[in-house]
Amino acid sequence: MASIYLDHNGTCPPRPQAVAAMVEVLSQPGNPSSVHAQGREARRRVEVARRQLAALLSLPPATLVFTGGGTEANALALASAGDRPLITSAIEHASVLEAAPAALRCPVTADGVVDLAALEAALAGAGRPAFLSLMAVNNETGVIQPVAEVAALARRFGALFHCDASQAVGRLAWDWGAIAPDYLTVSAHKIGGPQGVGALAARDGAPLAPLLRGGGQERRRRAGTENVAGIVGFGAAAAACDVEAFSHLAALRDGLEACLRAAAPGLVVAGAGAARVANTSCLVTPGWRGETQVMALDLAGFAVSSGSACSSGKVAASHVLAAMGLGPDLAGAAIRVSLGWSTTAAEVERFATTWISLHARRAPAPVAQQDLSPQDRQSVISQTARQQ
């Protein structure tokens, strides 16, 4: 059986446009800092990619600093906080939480949305202008954070605001120029570009303390020869993003959730009461460990995750679900199914059939469980899709 990939929040399959652009660049020499013809061509390609990404973000190209990934972009932003008090949320990615272990962590609601009242109190109680880091979309639940309101709060209290938008860019039709965070993190492989490339957008005038020194690259904001092929692939992926097409995945996701809930009434969809990006389902099944599900599904030919891809090798309950109020047993019983640009309805239907079969095998079916035939499952998914 061919493998079906449903872990787009971990990393998206590379888009054909990105692969083609990278292959073309890899066949050509040229350091972007060199003044000869090949160097000038490499520089041109980097700047084209910068403009492509800037267009997706609705930001000036000059604000973008290319990095070695989203984690480095987050670290670059946090290193620029200086001596400001650090504030973040309890559901941030490990690249933020571990880079700022002393930060005040604001709570979230049971639906996984940052508590704006608590955040306002934290900003007011900091005693001086703080540095705030908050993600736009949670990588495990897909819950969308109230970024515009957070940005307005930060401005009111004179705080610098960093937003990790790795899971939002290319998925939400947001004008980041209008929202105006001071710093914005983007990761290439979350939109179908290559791994190992990211960017930090830094507002003109926002302090920026380089992590890497020793060269004039990226306007002296990030030293080191640019990864030309990676950056070009990043730009091509950004140009290929279609937010409207991505939004149509909500119909497949909702149909999948309806189908699984009908077959397993005890199943909980974390964050279902909040606004979510169109592609993400965090499925919590009491009594069925997440890593057990991931292994069983892997053997059946499906790639899903039990949480953040950066910590998928750890046997630990999700800190995101724990922050949402789920106890250790439930927080450790979740899998994340994340769809993307390459996902088809047939793949979702096959996943639903396989998951229900595995679930039925692990324990006797409860009395309330509905025994759906494969035709019924396809009907539930299709009917839900048509209603969106």
**The residue count for the chain:** 388
- Provide DSSP, 156-194: HTT-EEEEE-TTTTTTS---HHHH--SEEEEEGGGTTS-
Tell the residue number behind the tokens 């954070």, with chain if given: 145
Among residues 240, 256, 286, the one where a domain terminates is 240
Both 158 and 172 in one domain: the answer is yes
310 in active site: yes
Residue 349 carries which side chain, given as an amino acid letter? Answer: E
Conformation bin of residue 325: beta by default, left when phi > 0, alpha when psi is -120 to 50:
left
Q: What is the pLDDT along the chain (388 residues), one digit of tens a residue?
A: 459 999 999 999 999 999 999 999 999 989 999 999 999 999 999 999 999 999 999 999 999 999 999 999 999 999 999 999 999 999 999 999 999 999 999 999 999 999 999 999 999 999 999 999 999 999 999 999 999 999 999 999 999 999 999 999 999 999 999 999 999 999 999 999 999 999 999 999 999 999 899 988 998 999 999 999 999 999 999 999 999 999 999 999 999 999 999 999 999 999 999 999 999 999 999 999 999 999 999 999 999 998 655 554 555 678 999 999 999 989 999 999 999 999 999 999 999 999 999 999 985 444 334 444 555 445 445 444 444 4
Residue 248 neighbours by CB under 8 Å, 6+ apart: 278, 388
Q: Is 31 exposed, middle or buried (0-12, 13-18, 19+ CB in 10 A)?
A: middle
**CATH number of 150's domain:** 3.40.640.10
Report whether 205 contacts 62 (CB < 8 A): no
pLDDT of residue 380: 43
**35-54 burial, b if ≥16 CB within 10 A, otherwise e?**
eeeeeebbbebbebbbebbb
Give the list of residues 6+ apart from residue 192 with CB closer than 8 angstroms, or none.
12, 13, 14, 15, 18, 170, 237, 240, 241, 340, 341
Domain extent at residue 59:
16-240
Report the amino acid identity of residue 133.
Answer: S
Q: Are 43 and 170 in a shared domain? A: yes
Number of compact structural domains in the chain: 2
Final residue belonging to a domain, choices 240, 274, 295: 240
Same domain, 291 and 193: no
Residues 318 and 224 in one domain: no
**115 Cβ contact partners less than 8 Å away, ≥ 6 residues apart:** 106, 107, 108, 109
Q: How would you class 381 by CB atoms within 10 Å of its CB: exposed for 0-12, middle for 13-18, buried for 19 or more? A: buried
CB atoms near residue 311 (< 10 Å): 15
Q: Is 311 found in the same domain as 220?
A: no
Write out the two tokens for 116.
């704006």
Is the domain of 128 the same as that of 34? Answer: yes
| CATH code for the domain of 357 | 3.90.1150.10
Which of 192, 216, 240 finishes a domain? 240
Residue 157 tokens, joined? 């209290």
Q: How many Å apart are CA 248 and CA 388, to the nearest integer?
A: 8
pLDDT of amino acid 183 = 98
Given this model, what pLDDT does residue 388 score? 44
* Residue corresponding to tokens 């955040």: 119
Residue 263 and residue 165 share a domain: no
Residues 66 and 102 in one domain: yes
Which one of the listed residues 106, 163, 241, 310 is annotated catalytic? 310
**Residue 32 and residue 387: Cα distance in Å, rounded?**
51
Residues 166 and 296 reside in one and the same domain: no
Residues 275 and 226 in one domain: no
Domain match, 287 and 183 both? no
Joined tokens for residue 177:
């120029």
Phi, psi of 240 (to 5 degrees): -90, -10
In a shared domain, residues 231 and 258: no
Distance CA 251, CA 357 (A): 23
